[in-house]
Chains A and B, each alone.
Chain A
Amino acid sequence: ETGVTQSPTHLIKTRGQQVTLRCSSQSGHNTVSWYQQALGQGPQFIFQYYREEENGRGNFPPRFSGLQFPNYSSELNVNALELDDSALYLCASSSGTGKNIQYFGAGTRLSVL
């Protein structure tokens, strides 16, 4: 296994609510990336944190925000949930060196009703 853990595994919310997803990175990794994967699509990059600083952001609105803690674990927060936010949210950790190989957690499956 990758050593990347995510919680919760499943979540059901209603439109307009807020959600926080959590990720613990692999030991020794200082970089965490978040991706959204809709059914039948490849994962889409949301943002990345490197040593507690945001290091790039994809084409997602500001209601998607994040945080990285000193132990390199991370949170993804989504405000004002919309139906289209229903997806698998994947966290990936990497060492910040080499060829940018990223290791994924099992994901959080979010359903917005």
Chain B
Amino acid sequence: RKEVEQDPGPFNVPEGATVAFNCTYSNSASQSFFWYRQDCRKEPKLLMSVYSSGNEDGRFTAQLNRASQYISLLIRDSKLSDSATYLCVVSLTSNTGKLIFGQGTTLQVKP
């Protein structure tokens, strides 16, 4: 079983749509959770950290369910510029240590 699992997609949605991505992680001792965004042939960039209470940044909402070991990302009012690969990321430790990445979910927003 992979440590972090995501549906690779692709998700093809029209502009203005709401789209949700999910991921699951296998290690219940995981401490930190993130969504990174990666454009084609570029480096991953931090989109947002994910907290148990849920957090929102503009059109983006992230949720963490520790009991189910499940992380979600909701994008509202999709823009063409949201087209990218979204990586679900987990860290077993705070402060230092490796990041464990899912395979990534590809989103294509069409006009």
Contacts and interface: CB of A to CB of B under 8 A. Distances in A.
B101 A42 contact: yes
Interface string B11-55: 000000000000000000001101000000111111001000000
A100 B97 contact: yes
Interface stretch (B66-74, B76-84, B88-96): B88-96
Interface residues of A, number: 32
Contacts, number: 75
A77 to B, nearest CB: 19
10 contacts: A43-B44, A43-B87, A45-B98, A48-B96, A56-B96, A92-B99, A99-B31, A99-B49, A100-B97, A105-B43
Interface of B: 4, 8, 31-32, 34, 41-46, 49, 87, 91, 93-104
Given A99-B49, A109-B41, 8 more contacts: A31-B96, A35-B99, A42-B103, A43-B99, A48-B96, A100-B96, A100-B99, A101-B34
